[in-house]
Chain A
Amino acid sequence: MRLTYFLNFEQNKSIRTNMQHIVIIGNGIAGITTARHIRKNGSDDAITVISAETDYFFSRTALMYIYMGHMKYDNIKPYEDWFWTKNKIDLKRAFVEKVDVRHKKLLLHGGEQLAYDQLVLATGSKPNKLGWPGQNLKAVQGLYSYQDLESMEHYSKDLKKAVIVGGGLIGIEMAEMFLSRNIPVTFLIREDSFWSNVLPQEESKMISRHMHEHHIDLRTSTELKEIVGDANGRVRAVITTEGDEIPCEFVGLTVGVSPNIAFIKDSEIETNRGILVDPYLATNIEGVYAAGDCAEFRQPNGERKPIEQVWYTGRMMGEALGRTLAGKKTAYRPGHWFNSAKFLDIEYQTYGWVFPDPKEHEADFYWEHKSGKVSLRLRWDKNTEKLTGVNNFGMRLRHHAFDKWLKDGRTVSYVLAHFRDALFDPEFFKRHEQAIVDQFNLENNTHIQLKKKSWQRILALVS
């Protein structure tokens, strides 16, 4: 049946006699986007989305805002509850203990079984614990799930000091969360400044300065050695590799995440660190797919890592897989890399690739405003002059512009001359493009002149 289904995918779907049951494990961005795009592309197959975490899809990226009191759980649900019934997407709250690919069924916690025709694994990640002594004490945890958030809330009562280990995006979010409740934070990072394994030095320094401004006690080049508990089994201090003992009642472990795939380890689905997939997000087992944080590409896409653990990639995989499952076989072909984050008060966006150090064939330009909170970095190919990446802090840039310019292989001079088309800061904000171009001209002996913003060109960027 499946075969004819795929062979006929071009034809009217009404010739299909059998409705299939598509089961998606995981109601995160990858699983939910898959489900939505199956519907969007006209399939009326039965869809069940299973999750053990919450009844409804929520935005994981917004968990911090619940703790900080910016939003409630209801606010971080991107769709109202009626949306799922209306789109005939069944939601099921259950934990999948085993996948039986031979009989095409799932074993749920409690003994229930569920049969599927097509299976999507979109099970996300879990926080890493690197085997430290004391890592299983009470009030030692990562931040990934809704339950993690509840636990953080629980341990925040009478919390006098928190230590966060590992300087990535989730770490700084956790720090911001505690600051919002006036809980002092000590931040241990292995590197010599914040996130310097991803950010070039100047940007990394900028964020480190900003953390100090917010009174975060940032301890660079410092690692965790041991976590010490009290009589009740709750953390009371951490000991660093330097031998310092820091008293604290909470330890946040934010040293990265790994695919959450323990429950399929003894199935026939092939895994490495994640679930191995081809460009169509198909696993080695026919009719079983994986998407989002838990998927690992056998062949990485360009400079991208084989496991992509960001919101946007989960969404794009879901878009592609949804089409495939609706009968329009579609490969996951991510375009140019983009990402964004906010470090306390400083926003960050990036398009293309900006590595901490320029690659051998790359040239580099960096401009920073005297406030120390706005910056721009450009990287381009020395030989062809083509732009390869941009980092912007404290300044917003138009995704469409950079996506198109990178696609069209525009040179750095072209990009700077047309920079006004890409500005995305709100009206009346102080503009920096002239200062940027002046510095660039000075450093590179060029005579680039800024062009006026043109709506005609901007609209043409929207491909």
Chain B
Amino acid sequence: MSQPDPSLSIANPEPKDTDALQKLGLALAGLGTLVLFLSWGNLPIPHTLGLILAIGGILGGISLYSYRFYMKQPPGIKNNGVWFKSLINRGVLGWIVGVILTGFYVLLYWYPEMIGFKPEGNEGLVAMFDPLSQFFKSTSASQWFVYGTLYTLAIVSLGVKFLFKYRHSTYQIKRTLSVMAAQLLMAYLIPEILAGLNYNDVTTQEGEYLGYYNTDLKNTWPLDYDFFYDWQLDAMQEEAYQPMGVLFLIIGIAMFLLVTPILTYYVGKRWYCSWVCGCGGLAETAGDPFRHLSSKKLSAWKLERWLIHGVMVFVFIMTAATVYGYFWNTGEVFGLNIYSTFQQPYGFLIGATFSGVIGVGFYPMLGNRVWCRFGCPMAGYMGIIQRFKSRFRITTNGGQCISCGNCSTYCEQGIDVRWYAQRGQNIVRASCVGCGVCSSVCPRGVLNLENGPEDKRYDMPPIIIGNDSIQIDV
């Protein structure tokens, strides 16, 4: 059928009158983005002013725009024109954004000097963030500080947009506030403040570097694959960092050993993937407009199971080798160099390329959860619990499904939700991150995320309820 021409306009076709406030919002966000690009091009913008314009412009502009845009419409599902827009439909704009994002990650990981990171004195984009870094911890910014700030900015500002968009759903509101807070506090402010208080990342007056360890509480092994690396374990035990260092060591171990399996048993992996996690946080906010691009094909599911469990096995082996190397101080296991055989390939292939470059850079091509679905070992680990030992399920409401396909289309994890719903069967899938969007978009009230007894969690009804044509003996 002839589709309307995918327009280049991001806002087409949408309520026609973009009013003055909306335009102001767009202009502010545009200005903020422009400042980032200009500073990257080394334009001499005063750092503090530039920073305020960039962060304030993007946050304020997006909030203002989405407030006006959504509040003018009655609350409800807002998917009009999703498949017509170039940006989110693999059109020209989509490709442009994809290339920019991918390029940014490549520079960030492998050529940080090209965005201005210079140990002898920053320039360009990174230099603009120096005042903020100085404010938190009295050192100049690193490329990671810039990245962390922008990442948090994306989650918070596009989280605000998501809140307006889904304002009719308390589940979506609470969940989004939670990922926003988790990113802002746990991943950003607390670590920066701890560093500022000299609990981390300290170089003594004698010039001795005391080391760095990860202070993002929610960034749990195995997603945080370098948790057991020797530099990390050493730093956590560094005297100057106590009691924080050891506390983080204990909490880190408790997170994957106790907290994760227990919570996943009770509520499914969603507590992490769509309520807390940083990767999930970006996917659910900045990535939300791209969710329909995930492949629903059976073949994609097959690939997913190989890949995600492959990565999981890889991280287990890599970590086992690492821990062995740490305690026996060999640097080798079975004659294989631990760094070059295990850590380095994992870090390059999975840590940087898969989770960063592909995971985020390819949002406009493959959808917003490529990493979470095909790669993340944490998701793999919790997925096994969710599938086999958990109280979580998506309940199908009897025979109410009309097979429309909204649930499958908007499942960012590419789960063919309809396949189950139209047979009256509950959905129990390892990969479900519990975003709840299938339930939100269902026009017939068929799907509900519930925690209940494991018993009968995924029984297959012999015939869909509402039809008494066959009687089932119970």
A residues adjacent to B (C-beta < 8 A) = 29, 59, 61-62, 65-66, 68-73, 75-78, 80, 146, 149-150, 153-154, 180-182, 210, 213-214, 311-312, 315-316, 319-320, 323, 330-336, 338, 340-342, 344-345, 347, 349, 396-400, 403, 424-430, 455-456, 458-459, 462-463
Contact check, A344 vs B76: say whether CB atoms are below 8 A apart. Answer: yes
Q: Mark contacts of B454-470 with chain A using CB atoms, 8 A cut-off: 1 yes-contact digit, 0 otherwise.
A: 01100101011111111
Q: Cβ of A455: which chain B residues have Cβ within 8 Å of it?
A: 452-453
Contact check, A338 vs B398: say whether CB atoms are below 8 A apart. Answer: yes
- When A62-B406, A340-B400, A426-B436 are in contact, do A70 and B82 touch as well, CB less than 8 Å? yes
Contact of A70 among B4, B83, B419 (CB under 8 A): B83
Q: B121 on the interface (CB 8 Å rule)?
A: no
Q: B16 on the interface (CB 8 Å rule)?
A: yes
Contact check, B82 vs A426: say whether CB atoms are below 8 A apart. Answer: no
9-residue interface stretch from B22-30, B168-176, B243-251: B168-176
Per the bound structure, the CA–CA distance linking A320 and B466 in Å amounts to 12
Contact of A349 among B79, B400, B405, B449 (CB under 8 A): B400
Q: B313 on the interface (CB 8 Å rule)?
A: no
Per the bound structure, the CA–CA distance linking A458 and B393 in Å amounts to 14
Contact check, A335 vs B468: say whether CB atoms are below 8 A apart. Answer: yes
Per the bound structure, the CA–CA distance linking A73 and B83 in Å amounts to 11
- When A333-B468, A335-B466, A459-B453 are in contact, do A70 and B297 touch as well, CB less than 8 Å? no
Quick one: closest B residue to A403, CB to CB?
B465
Contact of B74 among A77, A333, A345, A459 (CB under 8 A): A345
Contact check, A69 vs B80: say whether CB atoms are below 8 A apart. Answer: yes
Contact check, B405 vs A312: say whether CB atoms are below 8 A apart. Answer: no
Per the bound structure, the CA–CA distance linking A406 and B343 in Å amounts to 62
Contact check, B465 vs A345: say whether CB atoms are below 8 A apart. Answer: no
Q: Mark contacts of B1-22 with chain A using CB atoms, 8 A cut-off: 1 yes-contact digit, 0 otherwise.
A: 1111000000001011000000
Quick one: closest B residue to A401, CB to CB?
B398
Per the bound structure, the CA–CA distance linking A347 and B79 in Å amounts to 16
Quick one: closest B residue to A83, CB to CB?
B298
Contact of B397 among A213, A323, A399 (CB under 8 A): A399
- When A62-B402, A347-B444 are in contact, do A426 and B171 touch as well, CB less than 8 Å? yes
Q: Cβ of A65: which chain B residues have Cβ within 8 Å of it?
A: 404-406
Q: Cβ of A427: which chain B residues have Cβ within 8 Å of it?
A: 171, 449-450
In order of increasing CB-CB distance, the 4 nearest A-B pairs are A399-B398, A345-B76, A396-B445, A62-B404
Per the bound structure, the CA–CA distance linking A70 and B422 in Å amounts to 19
Per the bound structure, the CA–CA distance linking A342 and B446 in Å amounts to 12
15 contacts between A and B (CB under 8 A): A62-B403, A78-B403, A78-B405, A80-B298, A154-B2, A319-B467, A333-B467, A338-B400, A340-B400, A342-B444, A396-B397, A426-B436, A428-B170, A428-B171, A459-B456
Quick one: closest A residue to B297, CB to CB?
A80
Q: B77 on the interface (CB 8 Å rule)?
A: yes
Q: B49 on the interface (CB 8 Å rule)?
A: no
Q: Cβ of A459: which chain B residues have Cβ within 8 Å of it?
A: 452-453, 455-456
Q: B439 on the interface (CB 8 Å rule)?
A: yes
Q: Mark contacts of B408-425 with chain A using CB atoms, 8 A cut-off: 1 yes-contact digit, 0 otherwise.
A: 110000000011001000
Q: B443 on the interface (CB 8 Å rule)?
A: yes
B residues adjacent to A (C-beta < 8 A) = 1-4, 13, 15-16, 74-77, 79-84, 168-171, 174, 297-298, 395, 397-400, 402-406, 408-409, 418-419, 422, 436, 439-440, 443-445, 448-450, 452-453, 455-456, 459, 461, 463-470, 472, 474
- When A78-B418, A182-B13 are in contact, do A463 and B472 touch as well, CB less than 8 Å? yes
Contact check, B464 vs A315: say whether CB atoms are below 8 A apart. Answer: yes
Contact check, B170 vs A70: say whether CB atoms are below 8 A apart. Answer: no
- When A319-B464, A429-B170 are in contact, do A59 and B436 touch as well, CB less than 8 Å? no
Per the bound structure, the CA–CA distance linking A428 and B449 in Å amounts to 11
Q: In the assembled complex, how far is the CB of residue A83 from the closest CB belonging to chain B, in whole angstroms?
A: 9
Q: Cβ of A428: which chain B residues have Cβ within 8 Å of it?
A: 170-171, 174
Q: In the assembled complex, how far is the CB of residue A328 from the closest CB belonging to chain B, in whole angstroms?
A: 8
Contact check, B455 vs A338: say whether CB atoms are below 8 A apart. Answer: no
Contact check, B1 vs A73: say whether CB atoms are below 8 A apart. Answer: yes
Q: Cβ of A73: which chain B residues have Cβ within 8 Å of it?
A: 1
New A-B contacts (7) at CB < 8 Å, excluding given A316-B399, A455-B453 = A69-B80, A70-B83, A78-B403, A181-B13, A311-B403, A333-B469, A426-B439
Contact check, B171 vs A429: say whether CB atoms are below 8 A apart. Answer: yes
Contact of A403 among B395, B398, B419 (CB under 8 A): B398
Quick one: closest A residue to B445, CB to CB?
A396
Q: Cβ of A463: which chain B residues have Cβ within 8 Å of it?
A: 465, 472, 474
Per the bound structure, the CA–CA distance linking A153 and B80 in Å amounts to 15
Per the bound structure, the CA–CA distance linking A396 and B470 in Å amounts to 27
Per the bound structure, the CA–CA distance linking A214 and B470 in Å amounts to 44
Contact of B83 among A71, A320, A342, A426 (CB under 8 A): A71
Q: Cβ of A75: which chain B residues have Cβ within 8 Å of it?
A: 405, 408-409
Q: Cβ of B444: which chain A residues have Cβ within 8 Å of it?
A: 340-342, 347, 349
- When A65-B406, A75-B405, A315-B464 are in contact, do A347 and B168 touch as well, CB less than 8 Å? no
- When A75-B405, A330-B469, A403-B465 are in contact, do A70 and B1 touch as well, CB less than 8 Å? no
Q: In the assembled complex, how far is the CB of residue B79 from the closest CB belonging to chain A, in whole angstroms?
A: 4
- When A426-B171, A426-B439, A426-B449 are in contact, do A319 and B400 touch as well, CB less than 8 Å? no
Contact check, A59 vs B402: say whether CB atoms are below 8 A apart. Answer: yes
- When A331-B469, A428-B174 are in contact, do A78 and B400 touch as well, CB less than 8 Å? no
Contact check, A316 vs B400: say whether CB atoms are below 8 A apart. Answer: no
Q: In the assembled complex, how far is the CB of residue B83 from the closest CB belonging to chain A, in whole angstroms?
A: 5
Contact check, B77 vs A345: say whether CB atoms are below 8 A apart. Answer: yes
Q: In the assembled complex, how far is the CB of residue B463 from the closest CB belonging to chain A, in whole angstroms?
A: 6
- When A65-B404, A316-B467, A403-B398 are in contact, do A153 and B74 touch as well, CB less than 8 Å? no
Per the bound structure, the CA–CA distance linking A462 and B455 in Å amounts to 12
Q: Cβ of B455: which chain A residues have Cβ within 8 Å of it?
A: 459
